[in-house]
Structure 1
Amino acid sequence: MRFNVCGIDRFLRVVIGLALVGLTLSGMIGVWGWIGVVPLLTGIFRFCPAYAIFGLQTCPLEKK
């Protein structure tokens, strides 16, 4: 699998995902906060299916 999420994009996905899940677990926000699992997982695995569909990536191009 090719990576398509890197750099600041990856960092922000993990931070936002952790924040949403943490706020949900602490009871500060409702069940909708579990949507934070999506950016968290895409940041951890460095792959976003939506980016793949639209042909986007934030990783530098590989040198050949």
Structure 2
Amino acid sequence: MKNFGSMDRVIRLVLGLCLMALPFMTSWLASLGYLRVAISAIGLVLIVTGIIRFCPAYTLFGIRTCKLNRTDCAGGHFV
């Protein structure tokens, strides 16, 4: 079940890619081992949730950013 819309997906994918690339593009961050891994992990989580269009945190808090009458949020079925 998808729980966020297209704009949220694009933001997650772009931000995730930027966070994954950031430690390798800046010299001051590349020297910080654990922080570099943490930032890359956050980027990876954003990319994965953007691809599968499901965010467990949204489910916990009851957030849904997609329109209920759209087929792209209901897995091909109207809600």
Instruction: Give TM-score, length-normalised by structure 1.
Output: 0.80
Determine what percentage of the aligned residue pairs are the same residue.
Answer: 44
**How many residues are aligned here?**
62
Partner of 1:22: 21
The structure having more radius of gyration, on CA atoms, is 2
Instruction: Give TM-score, length-normalised by structure 2.
Output: 0.67
Any stretches of 5+ residues in structure 1 without a counterpart? none
State the Cα RMSD in Å: 1.6
Q: Is residue 45 of structure 2 the alignment partner of residue 31 of structure 1?
A: no
Any stretches of 5+ residues in structure 2 without a counterpart? 30-35, 70-77
CA drift of 1:27 comes to 4.7
